[in-house]
Amino acid sequence: KAGSNNVQVIDVANGHTLTKLYTGATPWRLQISPNKQQLWVQHWYAERTTVVDLGKHTITATLPLRGPGMFNKKGDLFYSFSWPNNALSIYNTTKMSLRETKETEIKHAFDLALPGAEGRLLVGQYDPITKVKRPLYDYVFPYNLKKGESGVPIQSGDSSARLRLDPTGEFVVAANFDGQELILI
């Protein structure tokens, strides 16, 4: 809950709260690890990511990342920006340590997707802060993780605030806040 600055563990069978964890100010992104053992909670105002052990309901690590972030398919790496910065941080999820940081040309990364083959990250841009004359980002950027470089931008409509893979993993749907449209990439 962003307003109460906690994450609640709820028994879905009866709706009762099992525990509340203060993970930081304004949780805005939640990522469950591929093995379903951890919840990575990214916080807007606290500018950090808190790792929660889902079996023990305890906080096991805190990392200096606002987000957005996501796991690779194996779950051994976590890719994250710290909005609005353009550096991509790559964390080893076993050691909870920074593996590397890559400076990119991409500013205001607001959501990420890993389509198809490993090694390519799609980055959607959005600026939720500016209220007057908001910058419009008309492209989703492919980023080659191995080469550390951006590819040719893909037309995606106005300000791709959310990126989601279709069930096959072949296509990405870009939800555009300013254009109020969905674009299939």
Query: Please, which pLDDT band fits residue 152 given cuts at 50, 70 and 90?
Result: confident
Residue 66, CB half-sphere, CA atoms under 13 Å: how many?
A: 16
Place of tokens 């096959």: 168
What's the order of all strands across the beta sheet hosting 181-184? 160-165, 172-176, 181-184
Query: Please, which pLDDT band fits residue 117 given cuts at 50, 70 and 90?
Result: low
Residue whose C-alpha is closest to residue 142's, from 122, 162, 169, 112: 122
The CA distance from 131 to 8, in Å, is: 31
The CA distance from 121 to 114, in Å, is: 5
Query: Please, which pLDDT band fits residue 3 given cuts at 50, 70 and 90?
Result: low
